[in-house]
Amino acid sequence: MIELYNEDNKDLMARLPNESIDVICIDPPYLYLKNQKLERPFDEKLFFSECKRVLTKNGFIVLFGRGTSFYRWNTILDSLGFKFKEEIVWNKTMNSIPAAPILRVHELINVYTKNSGKLNSPLIPYIEAKQHNLDSIYQDLKRIKSAINSKEFEDIEHFLKTGEIIYKEKKSRNFFKNAYSDRSRGLATFRTIKNGMKEKTIMTETRDHYRSIHPTQKPVRLLERLLALVIPDKPKNEIMVADFFGGSFSTMEAVFNMGMQGISCEIDKEYFEAGKQRIDNLKPNLFSSEL
């Protein structure tokens, strides 16, 4: 269900039928490094026009970028009629250029829809969401502790047994509301531990520098989380995701893990061969959670 091509993306895109792609997830060359192998300029207006042609009516573009090029691409997408949906910050936790005057530990990702596509509300496991924020876990434990000796604990106990939200003790309408509109901090905490947490606009995923086969390789889990935000509501094996700057094909590994179809190209022969071997060696993860 994954198709890989060693060619220029304009050649692949020219063969694709109109409205045949549900999601385009791309990390184009940022074009700020001089005399670098990866910095291949491309016809930006033609490329993004082709993205609009091949995307389904409510399809999405997930776009990584930085600097002047990134702002120029956003302007092009706006001029083509794409609708901006969200800006996401990838917190890499580690700096990418130690000798730089200011240590850069993030990259930007913008999400656009061709027409009126709506973002999903995927939930991620509590521990995964909190793994880089011990202070937040400590605050949650304090809320649970305070709830144990109060009437609020009856509400929590009922929720843990039945999954149903009730309030034995009435609260004012503005007492407390979280993303679920819960009116109890303790109950809200247990709800997120049991059911998971909504995504935030800052996503923390550490890049594995030691096993990367491409200088700008993205974490597969980050790509899974991004794709979960934008995939359409239809059977996973009918969803088509494209990456026209394939690199090491991390996006295609995420697509594989999620049980979707994918198509990608990489112009560089060396990276194509290494990435293709990576995809060929994948095996279904029988223990992966439904995204």
What does 114-177 look like in DSSP terms, one character per residue?
Answer: SSS------EE-HHHHHTT-HHHHHHHHHHHHHHHTSTHHHHHHHHHHH-----SS---TTS--
Number of structural domains, the chain? 2
d(CA 69, CA 159): 49
Q: What pLDDT sits at residue 235?
A: 96
Based on the domain organization, do 106 and 12 belong to the same domain? Answer: yes
> Of the candidates 247, 252, 251, 250, which has an alpha carbon nearest to the alpha carbon of residue 267?
247
Based on the domain organization, do 192 and 203 belong to the same domain? Answer: no
Among 180, 197, 214, the domain-final residue is 197
Q: Flag whether 171 is in a domain.
A: yes
pLDDT bucket at 168, cuts 50 / 70 / 90:
low
Q: Which domain holds residue 254?
A: 2-122+199-280
Based on the domain organization, do 111 and 183 belong to the same domain? Answer: no
pLDDT bucket at 291, cuts 50 / 70 / 90:
very low
Record the pTM. 0.84
The alpha carbon torsion through 93, 94, 95, 97 (nearest 10 deg) reads -150
Q: Flag whether 290 is in a domain.
A: no
Based on the domain organization, do 100 and 42 belong to the same domain? Answer: yes
Q: What pLDDT sits at residue 210?
A: 61
Based on the domain organization, do 110 and 248 belong to the same domain? Answer: yes
Residue type, 89: V
Helix (H) or strand (E) holding 268: none
Q: What pLDDT sits at residue 258?
A: 96
Q: What pLDDT sits at residue 231?
A: 97
The SS3 assignment for 57 reads strand
d(CA 36, CA 22): 32
Q: What pLDDT sits at residue 188?
A: 79
> Of the candidates 160, 167, 228, which has an alpha carbon nearest to the alpha carbon of residue 190?
160
Based on the domain organization, do 163 and 238 belong to the same domain? Answer: no
Among 172, 197, 222, the domain-final residue is 197
Lowest-confidence segment of 17-31, 152-166, 177-191 by average pLDDT:
177-191
- Residues 74-118 have pLDDT tens digits of 999 999 999 999 999 999 988 777 777 888 889 999 999 999 999
- Of residues 14 and 140, the one with the higher pLDDT is 14
Show the tokens assigned to 96: 């990418």
Based on the domain organization, do 255 and 148 belong to the same domain? Answer: no
